[in-house]
């Protein structure tokens, strides 16, 4: 009986893509994010891997990946942090008053670069979508995600690699 159950489980598991955590780990996501920060935000802009609660008002940017693994890479931070990031990315071209269009652009581009590099370690072929920005990121599956929490200039931000697969919920041993 147990042999049959095992075979059934193997067959079911084989029909599904591997869990997100089996494809990419926290250390890899952290390293990808750090590289993006050092190159785009500034060479002295270190990220400290310490979890801290996000503020009440947050902004997220994300890119979707569609392929053997389908989901999204979501960057979330406080609104003030998003403004500071935009100023840092624009550098000397940052205007006195940063417009929301620039914030969306800057935060979206960070998600795009992190997402593009996460896509490279996931199974392919897959397609990377254009970056999107908003207060409500796409709802992913918390149980099938990899989440990294860091501090930038003392402010918290998170990067989540989250699957949108619903089928995995039913994957339980028989």
Partner 1 sequence: MKILVADDSRVMRQIVIRTLRQAGYDDHDIVEAEDGRDAYEKVRSEGPDLVLSDWNMPNMTGLECLQALRGSGSTVPFGFVTSEGSAEMREKAADAGALFLIAKPFTADTFTEHLEGVLA
Interface residues with partner 1 (CB under 8 A)? 35-36, 38-40, 86, 89-91, 93, 102, 105-106, 108-109, 112-113, 115-117, 119-120, 124-125, 128, 130
Min dist. Cβ of residue 162 to partner 1 (A): 19
Min dist. Cβ of residue 11 to partner 1 (A): 31
Cα(167)–Cα(174) distance, integer angstroms:
15
Q: Which is nearer to partner 1, 91 or 173 (CB)?
A: 91
Q: Which is nearer to partner 1, 5 or 35 (CB)?
A: 35
Min dist. Cβ of residue 82 to partner 1 (A): 12
Cα(126)–Cα(103) distance, integer angstroms:
28
Q: Which is nearer to partner 1, 108 or 156 (CB)?
A: 108
DSSP β-ladder status, 71-78 and 145-152: unpaired
Q: How far is CA 84 from the centre of its chain?
A: 20
Min dist. Cβ of residue 4 to partner 1 (A): 41
Question: Which of 4, 21, 2 lies closest to 168, judged by CA?
Answer: 21
Q: Which is nearer to partner 1, 122 or 144 (CB)?
A: 122
The answer to whether the CB of 25 falls within 8 A of the CB of 159 is no
Min dist. Cβ of residue 106 to partner 1 (A): 5
Q: Which is nearer to partner 1, 40 or 54 (CB)?
A: 40
Question: Which of 79, 91, 90, 73 lies closest to 28, judged by CA?
Answer: 73
Cα(132)–Cα(86) distance, integer angstroms:
15
């Amino acid at each position: 009986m147990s042999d049959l159950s095992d075979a059934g489980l193997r067959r079911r598991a084989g029909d599904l893509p591997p869990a997100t955590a089996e494809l990419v780990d926290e250390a890899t996501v952290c390293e990808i994010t750090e590289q993006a920060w050092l190159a785009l935000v500034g060479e002295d802009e270190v990220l400290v891997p310490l979890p801290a609660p996000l503020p009440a008002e947050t902004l997220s940017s994300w890119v979707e990946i569609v392929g053997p693994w389908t989901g999204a890479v979501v960057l979330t931070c406080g609104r003030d942090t998003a403004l500071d990031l935009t100023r840092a990315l624009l550098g000397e071209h940052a205007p006195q008053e940063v417009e929301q269009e620039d914030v969306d652009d800057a935060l979206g581009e960070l998600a795009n670069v992190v997402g593009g590099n996460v896509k490279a370690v996931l199974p392919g072929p897959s397609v990377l979508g254009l970056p999107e920005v908003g207060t409500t990121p796409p709802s992913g599956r918390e149980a099938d995600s990899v989440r990294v929490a860091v501090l930038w200039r003392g402010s918290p931000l998170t990067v989540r690699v989250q699957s949108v697969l619903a089928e995995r919920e039913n994957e339980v041993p028989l």
